Structure 1
Amino acid sequence: MRRLFSISLMLFGIVTYAQTTVQGKVVDENNEPIPGANVVLMGKAEGTTTDFDGNFTFNTSEEPPFRLRVSSIGFSEFIANVTANNQTLSIVLGEVSTLLDEIVVSASRTPERIFESPVSVERFGLKEIKNTTAESFYGGLQNLKGVDINTNSLTFQSINTRGFATFANNRFLQLVDGMDNTAPGLNFVLGNLVGMSELDVQSVEILPGASSALYGAGAFNGILFMRSKNPFDFQGISAYAKGGVTVQDAAGSNFYKDFGIRAAHAFSDKVAVKANLSVLTGEDWHANRTIDLNNPGADRSNPAYDGLNVYGDEVSTTLNFDAAAGLPTGTVGSALISRTGYDEADLANYNAESVKADFAFHYRPFGNDLEVILNSRIGRGTTIYQGANRYAVAGFTMQQHRLEIKNDNFFLRGYIVSENSGDAYDTRFAAINVNRSWKSDTQWFTDYATAYIPTYLGGIQQGGLTPEQSSAQAHIAGRQAADQGRLIPGTPAFENAFNKVINDGDLSTGAKFVDETKFRHVNGNYNLAHLIDDWADLQIGGSFREYELNSNGTIFTDIDGPITYNEYGAYLQLQKKFMDERLKFTGSARYDKNEFFDGFLSPRISLAYTAGENRNHNFRVSVQQGFRNPTTQDLFIGLNAGRAILVGSAPANLDRDVRTFDVSQAAQDNLGMPATVEIVGRAAYENAYSTASLQAGAPEAVNTPLVQPEEITAYEAGYRAQIGKFTIDLSGYYNKYKNFLANTTTAVPFYGEAGDGGLSLLALQNGDYQVYQTYTNSDQDINSYGATVGVDTKLGNFDLGVNYTFAELDIDEGKFPDLRTNFNTPKHKVKASFGNQELFTNFGFNVNYRWSDSYFWEASFADGDIPSFTVLDAQLNYAVPSIKSIFKVGGSNILGDEYFTAVGTGNIGSIYYVSWTINP
């Protein structure tokens, strides 16, 4: 026993001798304690955290000397040298002083400095929100490098990163406190129309690249990640009031106002609540371009005129005047004639509005990090949306309701997103059906021909006019006769007809859209690091989503009831540091399954190395695969858009779209065809001709494959550095796309089989066919590449930043002229900022400059060139601490040079504003 006791004492002495104890306190620059700061032994998975008073005690078997890394979110990290046992450290952490020190969570689903992020990431925090020169924080995002904002209207801005986007950007994911902000039926984000109040935004992060490995199908080309303020941490009442004018040549000067209020209170360390309300109203940008893209240089005197922002004139036909009058061929001739249209200003309400409200209840049952959140958001907006047509979105609402349980290591979240289209309607169909409500197309064209023929012959025979002069005179007479009794905007007759049309959901007679689509989503994430002694950061997670399409047959083929389908996914990520924590490995993999398609695996691997004696250089490389599922519209749309009928290619959808068409009189008389035929959507894929071949005069039958998920392989390399006062961040990428989601247009003959060489060709000759838009994949190689570089520095107290973005589409356009990629991004962009938060006491300013190269815009509404443009925004701000207020005066596009970012939208003018923010 004495021997055993002696051995125990000896072992105890060895253990006691081998143990090193370090004590200390961590405070900020104001000598306030920092609780929860991480104290980690560099090179090993050992560490501790500070208590509520900022104190810590760290025990290790490591013998001095060694180093401890001390860090906390929102502060610069500190390296402490331990040289002796029982050493006491006093550590002061400075607040984040450079962009690269800021903390982001989106890149790896765990807090990390931008400097060490495995992929490109941009951050817009409280400082940037305060100093933004734009009229809203959301508009200020366009000053970040690699980020485009396409302005659809005053209240609807669409973010685009790395190209391939229209306003319906279904390649980009926006998360608000982890909830997908996509409108379920529209399949894209309506900017911040129904998003977050500026007062409640804690930070915004943007990942400008594929992120499917962690976020699934929606994160195909980028993510915007918005986090709101927690009521435990941000309490009190805050408010802002903003007013000013919008200035545009087409609309003149109009008053613009925006106000919001936030209230948050923690009743104890267990219960806290918050509520937000914001309201914005103004005059939208008017769209009044009357050019005819099909006939450059033509004006309204052209018989076939089809103006860009003039609707109803899409209805046209070729009138054979000789056949109508029983005259020999060539006597009068024939011409393409379009009905008289209405300007968009006669059809759209330009009263832009955005109303957002939310409420959140936060409960911490044990007064620690475990938190239960019940959150409801509702937004209501009025805007103009440009898709296949221009849509007046009036009273659109979207709701989100969330229940979440989380702590520092996990979250489990369930939420529902639902939309209601309100009084939304299609302006093109409004014009078409207002015209038809007073006179049918057949009667209108008959009246035109009836007046044209005698006027033409009279001009030749009696007036001594040339055929060209007589034709011009006859076209004027024909249109005047056909338009006799036409409904004039502003009259009671027009208003009555217009209101009837926009409240009719049948597009053969009306223009209204009905959409009450929703989706339910559950996802969760668990970080196992604390269970494996912080050997590595190991995360697992998964999600499930169910869609419920409900448009009463006005958008989808759900005339017989809602359509439901689901998808699910699961992922795993391992992150670990090696080589004295200089080398960081991140590996992720995710499996997703949609009920219509085979499962897909999305892996991501990244290596990042921190170099330099001061650890101020970081190099990274990554490769990842991603995918995106076809949208609800790609699968189940059944919509007559005027120029074509859109039919989704889900197998269950092909036979749901059934339509009746009139057969020409010639086919009835000469071929014995019935007066009407019934065409099923399946024919667009299996019994059709390529419209491109028809235009080329050589009809070619096509069989269009059903749509499959689109895939991407993304390669990226980057470098970040802090060199003296200069912060450098540059990256380059190369994306390879497979099964690129694309649309084709086909022509379905009303009789015969496409390719039969006989009856179907007669159908084409007789005009007995219907154009359809199909949803499929391109088998062509489509690649894109680009780069960004940003440099930020301080000149005294002045902040200066410059960044440049390059983007290029890599495709043989001459070989594949019919492929529409919708790349829609300039090759070159330059942005710069200059400001000072404290030019003198309580006074600051900021200026933002943006230059965009010209580019080609391609979308279903219209294609065309976007001229290059230069924009200058500026703001001055003055703080009054005694009343906890900041006053700001500013303007966007203060140079007044109007520009546009898409063909068909209104020109973007200037906005001048003043604001007062209380308790920011």
Structure 2
Amino acid sequence: MRAILFLSLLMLGGFGFAQTTITGNVVDPDNEPVPGANVVIVGKAVGAVSDFDGNFTLKTSETPPFQLNISSIGYTDATFDVTSNNQNITIVLNEASTILDEIVISASRTPERLFESPVTIERIGIQEIKNTASVDFYDGLENLKGVDVNTNSLTFKSVNTRGFATFANNRFMQLVDGMDNSTPALNFPIGNLVGMIETDVQSVELLPGASSALYGANAFNGILFMRSKSPFDHAGISVSVKRGITSQKASGDNAYTDIGIRAAHKFSDKFAVKVNFGYLQGTDWAATSEVDKTTPGGTRADLNYNGVNVYGDEVSRNIKTEVAVTLENLGLLPAGASALVPSVDVSRIGYNERDLTNYNAESIKADWGLYYRPITDNSLELSYVGKVGTGTTIYQGLNRYNIDGFFQEQHKLEVKHDNFFLRGYLVADKAGDSYDMVFTGINILNDWKDHRTWFGEYVGAYVTATLGGATDTQAHAAGRAQAESGRFEPGSPGFKAAFNRSINDPNLLTGSKFQDASKYYHADGNYNFSHLTKDFADIQVGGSYRRYSLNSFGTIYTDYDGPIDYSEFGIYTQVQNNFELNETMDLKLTGSVRYDKSEFFDGFVSPRISAGLTVNRDHNIRASLQTGFRNPTTQDLFIGLDSGQGFLVGSAPNNLERWSRPLDVSGSGQLLGQPAVITQTGAAPYTNSYTESSMVAFAATSDPSVLEVANPDIIKPEQVTSAEVGYRGKIKKLTIDFSAYYNSYKDFISQEAVASPYYGTAGDGSLSVLAIANGDWQGYSAYTNSDADVNSYGAALGLTAKVFGDFDLGGSYTYSKLDFDREANPDVVLNFNTPEHKFKAFFGNANLFENFGFNIAYRFSDDYFWEATFGDGVVPEFHTVDAQINYTVPSIKSSFKVGATNLLGDEYFTAFGTGFIGSMYYVSWTINN
């Protein structure tokens, strides 16, 4: 009780000392208000923020005279000398000559001009978000130089830089106010489905390339930093409402709604709160491709058809070796009948994806925060932040998943100061009613007529028709007609009942429900000694700790008997100093080193050195060399999943024996003296397997000598050495930003497709060869490291300028290249998935005339080959144009925008297997933001 009374008196005392009051107005050179400008006492953590009309009120215990610093994104900082109490002042902010003058934090974990950043960095702020031609700030990231945004679905987009990405992008990190946004179950972010609400976004910084030296294992390809608005600086209620339609040939025109609400209140200089809510609803891009995944030019009339967005036709058998021989041995076919059956693969007829989902896209999210500053005129702040989100979307990974009611929550406690921070947070998720659409199709078929019966009827009818004099084509038609009798048609009572049984059953042998309730705990801290060591250098130290708790109930991971727990930690330091070489030249040197350790692997050291030479404040040349590493992900280590066409088995040392499956060896195997059922463990692909490419060669030649033993090593961390050079500068009205990099990888983490014989030992030249020839083998995807040389390199050039007076014109070109001998390493899967050439451009004017602006953005992507577990194929080149016009009405504190994405209407896709991306047309109304 005494502690509570003391705290209350302390807070009241803090209120009582606020003696000086300064009021004012912040405007631009045209006398237009500048909302959101920061007004801060120099050398103190006390300040205010201008409202929608540019007005502010600052109360402080500081006694004049003192100095104010006034800043806003897109403007040059200004200072003002306060000489007396109750002053009313007007501050004029001039537009910044270039975005390079803006302040960034992520590159060095300390504030610095973007111009002087030691590495490449991209940034957008409140003004850029307002002017973006994209439908929201997250989609606007795809207009940044060097950035790839792969569209998985309407509400799930994957951000990446510098190659090597699928939608399961665990090489790229997203941080929201310091919290990792990746889901515990999947180990990667699912776009902005449960991320930030646009009305609360303060700024977004994107750091391409390896950043392990400061940010650890997952910062391998880059990091996206999203910062929210402080309720101390941005109080009030803000609302954004977007309404429009999505338009796609496959799904037609459908309504789209996106609402964001932010409420923040500053009770005093010590205590403030905020709450955010967001709701989005629309219709996803329908995926309707019937291209054959395995046979170029194949059609649904083919015997072994496997359509891209057709599910259930993955079930395929060799009707001679896997069906007819077994039936004959069991006496279910006449003796010698199997000789009449050709050795061909036949697949079942699947269901289209559109029959297995309603393509609903929805996101509901909320967050809240309590912020307390206990000491007057001090930057110390204590806070609690909570975030929850749920949504429905489509995810494409191993298969296509209907993510329905997925739920994620985050809770963070943080203590921060200008010189340090210490935070701890929890991230947890639940899968909701999500399900695997491929297994749904497979199990509807199996519910109607089990696979053994279906193929038995097919072969029986084929043999009967052949004995009756039918041709091969006629016999196959007779076999399929008999096997297909009684089929559940989409929409029928039988189909609906089988569908509901499947999506509510987590056993993949009979169902398709995706279960998960995983979580991880994370703590990290940093101390900046620069206030103590500034005469020598700026020195920082920090560290992090994370503990995973995987709990998929045995549906994804091998956690059949309870959650799998493991941990990792890291520590780092950075030293930075600026040397004034002469009146016009400064040299900034930065050195960083980090040590990380996972409980499964040896520790790893990641150093980074960089140098930046600034000339006349208008030109900066930079160079950096760093090493990075990536720990194997939760899936790399502990997955144990039936893909429908093979098993995925992670290679953590204790995972190989956790996973096991009984396999049917009846038929040809029994003729060789093998038992009817054998059990393979997760060790099989790693200790007794052949490569997939040699299996293909053996099938074509029947030559045992072409079989190549695989037996991949169990997984270990991946390493990269990255060298980068760059230049930033401005020549009159032209701003230039150029960078080039070269990455060399060691122990590249990959999946290798292998086959393990049911009997015999790979390489024995006899029994295992007979197993392969008889079809008695199991396919696996093994998680391992490649010993092949894997390198990549690229460059990016960005140009922006003021033209025709006040118009903004800019563009960027990005070149990305994989250096890898595919022919010599046919079994290594890299997932580079990046176009060689990208070009982006924009043209606009935020103030074409009073309160009116517009922006047009153009993007071009070269064609490229998409490689992922769901399927491989070419992504054709595409061009797209987005455009918007906006109008501000200061009297009602509102901004209105009318916009369209993919204005030309040429539908395209960014990954093999996804739906074509159509157009979006929208109108938005934003209040007090």
Q: TM-score, normalised by structure 2?
A: 0.89
Q: Which amino acid is the alignment partner of residue 293 of structure 2? A: L
Specify the alignment match of 1:878 in structure 2: 887
After TM superposition, list the pairs within 5 Å mapping 1:274-423 onto structure 2. 274-320=274-320, 324=333, 326-327=335-336, 331=340, 333-367=342-376, 368-423=378-433
Specify the alignment match of 1:46 in structure 2: none
Gap runs ≥5 in structure 1: 1-25, 40-49, 59-69, 81-89, 461-469
Q: CA deviation at 1:392?
A: 0.8
SS in 2 for 1:297: coil
Specify the alignment match of 2:47 in structure 1: none
In 1, the alpha carbon distance for the partners of 2:271 and 2:541 equals 29
Specify the alignment match of 1:517 in structure 2: 518
747, 757, 760: which one aligns with 2:765: 757
In 2, the alpha carbon distance for the partners of 1:165 and 1:298 equals 28
In 2, the alpha carbon distance for the partners of 1:383 and 1:716 equals 37
In 2, the alpha carbon distance for the partners of 1:864 and 1:360 equals 45
After TM superposition, list the pairs within 5 Å mapping 1:900-919 onto structure 2. 900-919=909-928
773, 777, 795: which one aligns with 2:785: 777
C-alpha deviations, 1:766-793, integer Å up to 9, x for none?
2221111111101111110000011101
In 2, the alpha carbon distance for the partners of 1:596 and 1:637 equals 16
In 1, the alpha carbon distance for the partners of 2:369 and 2:458 equals 63
Q: Does the aligned pair in 2 maintain the 1:663–1:674 contact within 8 Å?
A: yes
Q: Does the aligned pair in 1 maintain the 2:521–2:547 contact within 8 Å?
A: yes
In 1, the alpha carbon distance for the partners of 2:236 and 2:423 equals 27
Q: Does the aligned pair in 1 maintain the 2:742–2:793 contact within 8 Å?
A: yes
Specify the alignment match of 2:628 in structure 1: 626
Specify the alignment match of 2:198 in structure 1: 198
SS in 2 for 1:790: strand
In 2, the alpha carbon distance for the partners of 1:807 and 1:620 equals 20
In 2, the alpha carbon distance for the partners of 1:53 and 1:258 equals 47
Check 1:56–1:295 CA distance in 2 against 1; reply closer, same or farther (3 A cut): same
After TM superposition, list the pairs within 5 Å mapping 1:27-42 onto structure 2. 34-37=39-42
In 2, the alpha carbon distance for the partners of 1:427 and 1:53 equals 67
Specify the alignment match of 1:892 in structure 2: 901
Specify the alignment match of 2:227 in structure 1: 227
In 2, the alpha carbon distance for the partners of 1:734 and 1:666 equals 53
- 2:138 is the alignment partner of 1:144: no
SS in 2 for 1:444: helix
C-alpha deviations, 1:702-722, integer Å up to 9, x for none?
321111101011100000011
SS in 1 for 2:772: helix
In 2, the alpha carbon distance for the partners of 1:77 and 1:624 equals 33
Q: CA deviation at 1:741?
A: 0.3
Q: Does the aligned pair in 1 maintain the 2:152–2:914 contact within 8 Å?
A: yes
Specify the alignment match of 2:254 in structure 1: 254
In 2, the alpha carbon distance for the partners of 1:71 and 1:606 equals 31
615, 618, 636: which one aligns with 1:616: 618
Q: Which amino acid is the alignment partner of residue 350 of structure 1? A: Y
Q: Does the aligned pair in 2 maintain the 1:35–1:53 contact within 8 Å?
A: no
Q: CA deviation at 1:391?
A: 0.8
In 1, the alpha carbon distance for the partners of 2:389 and 2:809 equals 37
Specify the alignment match of 2:645 in structure 1: 643
Check 1:535–1:38 CA distance in 2 against 1; reply closer, same or farther (3 A cut): farther
Check 1:215–1:53 CA distance in 2 against 1; reply closer, same or farther (3 A cut): farther
After TM superposition, list the pairs within 5 Å mapping 1:415-564 onto structure 2. 415-458=425-468, 460=470, 470-564=471-565
In 2, the alpha carbon distance for the partners of 1:263 and 1:634 equals 42
In 1, the alpha carbon distance for the partners of 2:861 and 2:61 equals 51
SS in 2 for 1:137: coil
Specify the alignment match of 2:8 in structure 1: none
Check 1:309–1:401 CA distance in 2 against 1; reply closer, same or farther (3 A cut): same
Q: Which amino acid is the alignment partner of residue 609 of structure 1? A: L
Q: Which amino acid is the alignment partner of residue 455 of structure 1? A: A
Specify the alignment match of 1:594 in structure 2: 598
C-alpha deviations, 1:515-560, integer Å up to 9, x for none?
1111100000111011224532111100110000101100010101
Specify the alignment match of 1:671 in structure 2: 672
C-alpha deviations, 1:94-147, integer Å up to 9, x for none?
454421011110000011111000000000110111011111110011000000
644, 651, 654: which one aligns with 1:652: 654
Specify the alignment match of 2:270 in structure 1: 270
After TM superposition, list the pairs within 5 Å mapping 1:167-186 onto structure 2. 167-186=167-186
In 2, the alpha carbon distance for the partners of 1:431 and 1:706 equals 33
In 2, the alpha carbon distance for the partners of 1:442 and 1:798 equals 69
Q: CA deviation at 1:78?
A: 8.4
Specify the alignment match of 1:859 in structure 2: 868
Q: Which amino acid is the alignment partner of residue 381 of structure 2? A: E
In 1, the alpha carbon distance for the partners of 2:811 and 2:783 equals 41
Q: TM-score, normalised by structure 1?
A: 0.90
Q: Does the aligned pair in 2 maintain the 1:664–1:767 contact within 8 Å?
A: no
Specify the alignment match of 1:607 in structure 2: 611
- 2:739 is the alignment partner of 1:734: no
Higher mean Cα deviation, 395-404 or 330-339? Answer: 330-339
SS in 2 for 1:915: strand
SS in 1 for 2:904: coil
Specify the alignment match of 1:13 in structure 2: none
In 1, the alpha carbon distance for the partners of 2:691 and 2:651 equals 17
Specify the alignment match of 1:217 in structure 2: 217
Specify the alignment match of 1:766 in structure 2: 774
Specify the alignment match of 1:43 in structure 2: none
Specify the alignment match of 1:685 in structure 2: 686
Q: Does the aligned pair in 2 maintain the 1:360–1:376 contact within 8 Å?
A: yes
In 2, the alpha carbon distance for the partners of 1:256 and 1:717 equals 43
SS in 1 for 2:505: coil
Q: Which amino acid is the alignment partner of residue 399 of structure 2? A: N
In 2, the alpha carbon distance for the partners of 1:715 and 1:407 equals 33
C-alpha deviations, 1:277-326, integer Å up to 9, x for none?
00001110000000113222221111111111101101111112697554
Q: Which amino acid is the alignment partner of residue 768 of structure 2? A: S
SS in 2 for 1:385: strand
SS in 2 for 1:481: helix
Q: Does the aligned pair in 1 maintain the 2:41–2:66 contact within 8 Å?
A: no
C-alpha deviations, 1:665-702, integer Å up to 9, x for none?
2222x223222111111121012222221111122223
Q: Which amino acid is the alignment partner of residue 734 of structure 2? A: F
Gap runs ≥5 in structure 2: 1-23, 30-36, 45-59, 81-89, 699-705
Equivalences, count: 853
In 1, the alpha carbon distance for the partners of 2:214 and 2:258 equals 36
Higher mean Cα deviation, 508-517 or 223-232? Answer: 508-517
C-alpha deviations, 1:149-192, integer Å up to 9, x for none?
00000000000100000000110000000000011110111010
SS in 2 for 1:145: coil
Q: Which amino acid is the alignment partner of residue 737 of structure 1? A: Y
In 1, the alpha carbon distance for the partners of 2:922 and 2:311 equals 34
Greater Rg over alpha carbons, structure: 1
Specify the alignment match of 1:572 in structure 2: 573
Identity %: 58
In 2, the alpha carbon distance for the partners of 1:255 and 1:77 equals 43
Check 1:792–1:54 CA distance in 2 against 1; reply closer, same or farther (3 A cut): farther
Specify the alignment match of 1:237 in structure 2: 237
Specify the alignment match of 1:83 in structure 2: none
Q: Does the aligned pair in 2 maintain the 1:541–1:572 contact within 8 Å?
A: yes
Specify the alignment match of 1:86 in structure 2: none
Check 1:33–1:822 CA distance in 2 against 1; reply closer, same or farther (3 A cut): closer
For the aligned residue pairs, the C-alpha RMSD in angstroms reads 2.3
Check 1:33–1:385 CA distance in 2 against 1; reply closer, same or farther (3 A cut): closer
In 1, the alpha carbon distance for the partners of 2:227 and 2:884 equals 25
SS in 1 for 2:828: coil
Q: CA deviation at 1:472?
A: 2.6
SS in 2 for 1:359: strand
